[in-house]
Amino acid sequence: QVQLVESGGGLVQAGGSLRLSCAASGRTSSSYAMGWFRQAPGKEREFVAVIRWSGGHTDYADSVKGRFTISRDSAKNTVYLQMDSLKPEDTAGYYCAATMARISLFSPQVYDYWGQGTEVTVSS
């Protein structure tokens, strides 16, 4: 089992920044890929970013590319999502997730473990 705990959400004005954290514990492994997803009210959960724990390769949704940065601190078993130039349409619950899958990492269906989420609200 892997436990994931997100933190760092809050209320910010458009153009501002937030940094989300996802602390992993339990049976963590360098084989995992760690993803961030978000879900706005009435919408499906959507992919935001992913990082391979080993090697650090990253991918981003087009909607956040150039504004968000995913990173990891192996010593702390923590993954971060730095969110800059925030827009009102970034408002959502943000969730981190872990998977040992190597493909289809944009799909929430391949993720085995999920955190409880943290809310991000961007005001205009």
| Residue 122 in tokens | 């961007």
DSSP-derived secondary structure for 66-120: TTEEEEEEGGGTEEEEEE-S--GGG-EEEEEEEE--SS-TT-GGG--EE---EEE
In the DSSP assignment, the letter for residue 51 is: E
The whole-chain average pLDDT of the chain stands at: 95
Contact criterion met (CB below 8 Å) for 56 and 92: no
Residue 30 has pLDDT above 80, yes or no: no
For the segment 101-111, what is each residue's pLDDT rounded down to a tens digit? 988 999 999 99
Which residue, among 19, 7, 40, has the nearest Cα to 86 in the 3D structure? 19
Mean per-residue pLDDT, 4-14: 97
Summarize the confidence of residues 24-31 as an average pLDDT. Answer: 84
Tell me the pLDDT tens digit for each residue of 58-86: 999 999 999 999 999 988 999 999 999 99
Give percent of the chain with pLDDT exceeding 90. 85
